[in-house]
């Protein structure tokens, strides 16, 4: 028995349709860290410092990268802190993309250490700082948000984001700690692996999450500005 031969044009058409269908069943999220800020060598979790001119330049470079020939996002989700939200608002206006501020995606709160440098903390609380560096999962700065609480806050908002924006293309502008929590979650890694992920200023991670089955795919795009 001979199998019927499909015309190449018909086969290509069916293949293109299948590719389009599979592509549309993905939720695609670009995680983008804010650019350089003023007082960047301090513990500025909830402290609301603005971007420097270089920070703005880094972010525009990240979203205008040659591999992005057009703006593909349906929505921009951003931390409300101005180092993220100011650029999100400007980008949204420029490309007519809706912008949603989500307070649960702001950086971890460092309590009494907010807006202090390591040198300043060493003068008054050296032992706690040393123990915090050795094991941040167990040691929390005075009056600060613990890493466990921070993880719960971020992942709760992340799951809600995925439910609400299924099969959309999302630009997510946030902070280094927030992105590391999400990357640990996506890679099924424990929190001890947080600092193994590179998240420099204006670095971007692209995540494709299938709606049917399979693990997410992740690609890293450093800023280099």
Among 14-18, 76-80, 100-104, 218-222, the range scoring the smallest mean pLDDT is 14-18
Would 118 be classed as within a structural domain?
A: no
Number of domains in the chain: 1
Would 11 be classed as within a structural domain?
A: no
Query: Does the structure show a pLDDT above 90 at 222?
Result: yes
Would 196 be classed as within a structural domain?
A: yes
pLDDT at 211: 81
In the β-sheet with 99-101, what is the strand arrangement from edge to edge? 99-101, 75-78, 169-174, 26-33, 204-210, 217-221
Distance of alpha carbon 130 from alpha carbon 141, whole angstroms? 11
Using DSSP's 3-state secondary structure scheme, residue 181 falls into helix
Domain region containing 96: 26-111+145-221
For residue 41, give the CATH number of its domain: 3.40.50.1240
The string of pLDDT tens digits covering residues 197-207 is 999 999 999 99
The string over 94-103, giving b where at least 16 C-beta atoms fall within 10 Å of a residue's C-beta and e elsewhere, is: eeebebebbe
Would 66 be classed as within a structural domain?
A: yes
Would 177 be classed as within a structural domain?
A: yes
Query: What is the model's pTM?
Result: 0.86
Would 8 be classed as within a structural domain?
A: no
Would 57 be classed as within a structural domain?
A: yes
Distance of alpha carbon 122 from alpha carbon 92, whole angstroms? 41
Continuous segment of H or E residues that includes residue 169: strand 169-174
Would 120 be classed as within a structural domain?
A: no
């Amino acid at each position: 028995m001979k199998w019927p031969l499909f015309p190449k044009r018909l086969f290509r058409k069916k293949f293109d349709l299948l590719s389009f269908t599979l592509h549309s069943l993905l939720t695609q999220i670009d995680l983008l860290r804010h650019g350089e800020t003023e007082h960047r060598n301090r513990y500025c979790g909830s402290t609301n410092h603005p971007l420097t001119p270089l920070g703005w330049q880094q972010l525009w470079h990240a979203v205008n990268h040659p591999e992005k020939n057009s703006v593909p996002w349906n929505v921009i989700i951003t931390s409300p802190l101005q180092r993220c939200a100011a650029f999100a608002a400007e980008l949204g206006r420029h490309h007519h993309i809706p912008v949603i501020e989500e307070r649960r995606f702001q950086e971890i709160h460092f309590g009494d250490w907010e807006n202090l440098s390591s040198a300043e903390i060493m003068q008054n609380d050296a032992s706690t700082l040393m123990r915090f560096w050795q094991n941040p999962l167990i040691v929390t700065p005075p009056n600060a948000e613990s890493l466990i609480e921070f993880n719960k806050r971020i992942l709760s908002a992340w799951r809600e984001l995925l439910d609400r924006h299924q099969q959309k293309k999302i630009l997510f502008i946030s902070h280094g700690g927030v992105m590391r929590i999400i990357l640990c979650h996506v890679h099924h890694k424990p929190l001890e692996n947080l600092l193994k992920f590179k998240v420099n200023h204006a670095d971007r991670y692209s995540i494709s999450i299938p709606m049917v089955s399979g693990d997410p795919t992740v690609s890293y795009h450093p800023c280099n500005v």
